A = this chain, B = another copy of it.
């Protein structure tokens, strides 16, 4: 099972992505909002992202989508903070946050093959 974690400066953006994916996949893909700071302001937090990634620990693979700038840097720091057995499940995906997370979620319902999912994201 795949987990998807979305990271932006804006909690609204990542909450919206989760809402959209849940609607389109009928809640069948675990998608987690890790945007904004712990208290919902604009910004990013490596510890908050780490905690959100840890909530996907039951997934075999965890795909992380970031928009830009410190979303990416904080996610990289979050990866370093994770326990190694969680970290090795994580893949930072190079793709647009909204379109990429959506396509990955839909594709993960069709196949378990990581390469196929990443190929679909690449083709956006």
Nearest to A33 among chain B residues (CB) is B12
Question: Within 8 Å of chain B (Cβ to Cβ): is A23?
Answer: yes
B68-A8 in contact (CB<8A): no
Judging by beta carbons under 8 Å apart, are A16 and B10 in contact? Answer: yes
Contact of A96 among B19, B35, B97 (CB under 8 A): B97
Contact A67 B9 (CB under 8 A): no
> Whose C-beta in chain B lies nearest to the C-beta of A10?
B16
A5-28 vs B, Cβ < 8 Å mask (1 yes, 0 no): 000111111111101100100000
The answer to whether A20 and B9 have CB atoms under 8 Å apart is yes
Copies in the complex: 2
Chain B positions within 8 Å of A15 at CB level: 12, 16
A99 at the interface (CB under 8 A from B): yes
Q: Among the listed B13, B23, B100, which residue makes an inter-chain contact with A13, where contact means beta carbons less than 8 Å apart?
A: B13
Query: What chain B residues lie within 8 Å of A23 (beta carbons)?
Result: 9, 42
Partner of A20, one of B20, B42, B98, B102: B42
Known: A10-B20, A12-B15. 13 other contacts (CB 8 A): A8-B16, A9-B23, A10-B16, A11-B16, A12-B13, A12-B19, A13-B16, A13-B17, A15-B16, A16-B16, A23-B42, A96-B96, A96-B97
